Amino acid sequence: MGSVSDLRKGLIIRFEGSIYEVLDFLHVNPGKGQAFVRTTLKNLESGATVKQTFKKGDNFEVLRLEEKDAQYLYKDDGKYYFMDMESYEQYIIDEAKIGGRKAYLKEGMEYKLKMTEGRALGLTLPNFIALKVTSTEPGLRGNTAQGGSKPAVLETGAVVKVPLFIKEGNEVVIDTRTGEYSERK
């Protein structure tokens, strides 16, 4: 069991029957009355964000979060399928839990799944990922005084601004934290 003093960003807890991640917290010590902690919690099952206040003496269960290497297999009917590389067990993650990160999922690549109690709650992307450009307009010389950029569609369907010299078929490295072009591979 955890207590109010254990609350910190990134902590995974079971509270009122659901699993939450602590996104933000603030210890408040009013001049009058009892100290409390205001938190912003993300429900890892539904994706909903809630505000919750904990007082001294409130308890919750602290859950251990593990990361497991898994290969992305395919998407079917709004669900993403991953396979554990050691046990070959398959895990399913709903599209709502993946969100905007789906633009960086490439079949056959390995990712780290966030696991607790044998369930996949989400995934962690690598900081940089190499993807092939499937379509982009040709870059015209002389259009800009400085280096310019143009939109490019990647093999996962993501659209990223790339420099003018990038052509269809080039492999580019994308920073998954910002969604921006990093370099040509």
H, E, C per residue of 132-154? EEEEECCCCCCCCCCCCEEEEEE
User: Which residues, 6+ apart, have CB-to-CB distance to 25 below 8 Å?
Assistant: 7, 8, 9, 37, 38, 39, 40
Read off the tokens for 140. Answer: 């015209």
Domain CATH code at residue 137: 2.40.50.140
Our count of domains for the chain comes to 3
Distance CA 131, CA 156 (A): 8
Domain CATH code at residue 59: 2.30.30.30
Distance CA 43, CA 65 (A): 14
Q: Are residues 41 and 24 in the same domain?
A: yes
Name residue 57's beta-bridge partners.
Answer: none
* Interval 106-142: pLDDT, tens: 899 999 998 888 888 888 889 999 999 999 888 666 5
Q: Are residues 113 and 135 in the same domain?
A: no
Look up the domain containing 50 and give its range: 4-63
Q: Are residues 59 and 83 in the same domain?
A: no
User: Which residues, 6+ apart, have CB-to-CB distance to 176 below 8 Å?
Assistant: 101, 104, 125, 126, 127, 128, 129
Residue 22 has pLDDT above 60, yes or no: yes
Q: pTM of this prediction?
A: 0.72
Q: Are residues 136 and 175 in the same domain?
A: yes
Return phi, psi of residue 22, to 5°.
Answer: -80, 115
Q: Are residues 72 and 119 in the same domain?
A: yes
Q: Which amino acid is at 172?
A: V
* Interval 67-81: pLDDT, tens: 899 999 999 988 999
